[in-house]
Every structure is written in structure tokens, then in C-alpha cells.
Amino acid sequence: MHQCLTIVEVQHVIFREVLIVDHWDQWAGRATLAGLARTCRTFSDAALDILWEDLPSFAYLIRCLPSSLWKINQTNQRMSFERAMSLSDWEIFFRYSSRVRSISAFPYVNEHSNSCRSLGTDVIFALSRPPHYGPLVPHLKTLVLDSDKESEPLLRLLLTDSLVDATLPFFALHSPTMSIQLTSRCPSLKRLSIRNLSIQTFDDIPDVDKHRIAQETILRLPHSLESLDCTAVRLDEATIAHLSHLPSLTHLTLELQVDLQLENLRPHLTPLAFGSLESLTVAADTLSIVTSFWNSCTSRRDKCHA
């Protein structure tokens, strides 16, 4: 074997090409990497790094655990645990989760085996109590989460200081606890998209308070934020004014409320407002609100794609 093939960085480049070549059949590419990891000590670590780098589902991490631990209900495709997690189970879990950089937290659809579309409350409860303090996926950079409020305990442990790109449901911002943890644990966050899922959260927080808490969360986001999609949040004048002064914000998607007082917002939209903005997407009930807002952003109209 040529000496250059022992360089880990070279191995990573080659193994990523394996997945690209088999793009239309991701299982073939993954099977190739799994075979390399099992049969060649020189390639094992690098192949595992790429194999686990980008996961389409959080369920993959659970399925790598002993089959005696978990099962999938074939009727509702919900995963549950058959017993408590042992220390050896946790060792296996962290052996693989430490390699993960990107993850979609819950959906899991695999035509070649059992499909898992949701995690049971017992699974969430167990995974929310690791044997030591720290994130479940310590080097996570990208997180896409589509789930309801019952997954909140698990989400807390997926927030890391390495997280750069996050797509989260609305409850992650309107929950006071989650709001504080999102802004304190993710100082490197650069891209945030907030989804307004149709799933009911069944909590006792009035809608007005939910949006107020979400606005306060946005006010505490790091100034290094580059992209924000917050159409799920009813933004007030103060929040929009704050966003207009974020120095790195280049892409913004928001919804303007009917009761938005543009006369209170205009004084804040100085020539320096939205100074780095390149793309602006605005939703509103009436065209007049969009037009008035766009006219207020005169300083960016020559450079911003709307």
C-alpha cells in the first residue's frame, strides 16, 4: 500500500468520494465503508469517521446498541426500550456519537429494514440521563429536529458549543428553559431556522407568552449569526430593530404581523441597518406591509435580493 494512503486526511477525502459515487444508493456506499472499517485496521478509524459523520436519523445511534435493548413497534413504528441502559451500552453509544457531525434527530425510514418514525418516552427518558454530564453528540455541528415538546429533555443534550447550523421546532424557543440553554450553550451558532410544526405541544403557556419568550431568545442569539429563518415567531418592532444591527447577518426570512407599527421601527432602520444583508424574504398578510417595510430598508435595496 502506498504511504500516502496511511494519511488520515487523504483517507477522509477518498471515503467521502465513496459516498458521493453511491449517492443514488446511499446504503451501497455505507456498506462499502462499513466493510473497510471491519476488514482493514489502517482504514478502520477513518472509514468509521465518514460513515458516522452525517446521519439521516438519530435512531442510527440507538440501532448500533445491542438488539436486546430496543424494539420497534411495527404498528406505529415507534421505538421503545426493553431494559435499562447499562454502562457498556453507553460506551458503545459514545464510541459512535463522538464521530457524528450532522444529524436529523428523529425520523428514520429504511426500506431495507424496520422503520422508526418516533422515539418512545422511555427512550427519551433513558437517553436524557447519561452516566456523566455533557452533550450526547459532543462534536455536533448541524442539527435538524422535527418533533414535539416531549423530546425537549433530549434536545437539551444535543445543544453543544460546536453547533453551527440548527433547524428547530418553535417549542425550542418559546420554552423558558430551552431558550436559555440554546443561547448559552451554542456560542458558535451561525444559521438558525425555526419551524412552526402542526404538532400540538399541550402546555399551559399562552400563545402571547410563547412568542414573547421566543423574541427574547432571538435577542440573545450570538452576534455572529449569519442566517435566520424565523417566520414561526411573531416579531415585534424591538426584535426586528435588533436583527437590523447584527453585523454578520446576511440571510433573513421573517413574517411581518398586521399590527406591526412601522413608524416605531423606521427610526432604527438607519443607513447602517442590515449592513451585511444579502437576501431578505418577507411574508405578510397584505402587500402594503411588505412594501412599507421594503421602502424603510432603502440602504440595502441596491445590494439585497428580496
Burial of 2 (0-12, 13-18, 19+ CB in 10 A): exposed
- The pLDDT of residue 25: 62
Strands 227-229 and 142-144: unpaired
Any long-range contacts for 7-10 (C-beta under 8 Å, 24+ apart)?
8/45, 8/46
pTM score = 0.82
Positions of the chain with pLDDT lower than 70, given as ranges: 21-27, 105-114, 147-149, 197-206, 298-306
Helices (H), the chain: 8-21, 26-39, 41-53, 59-63, 87-97, 121-127, 152-156, 171-174, 176-185, 207-219, 237-243, 262-265, 287-296
- The pLDDT of residue 204: 58
- How is residue 21 annotated by DSSP? H
- The pLDDT of residue 199: 44
- The pLDDT of residue 177: 79
- Reported as half-sphere exposure (CB side, CA atoms, 13 A), residue 103 has a value of 25
Tens of pLDDT, residues 237-287 = 889 989 988 999 999 999 888 788 888 888 877 777 888 889 988 888 888
φ and ψ at residue 158, rounded to 5 degrees: -100, -5
Tens of pLDDT, residues 166-182 = 998 887 777 777 788 88
Chain-centroid distance, C-alpha 23: 23
Which grid coordinates belong to 184? 448559552
Beta-carbon count within 10 A of 214 CB: 24
Measure the CA–CA gap between 237 and 198, rounded to whole angstroms: 26
Q: At 167, is the secondary structure helix, strand, or coil?
A: strand
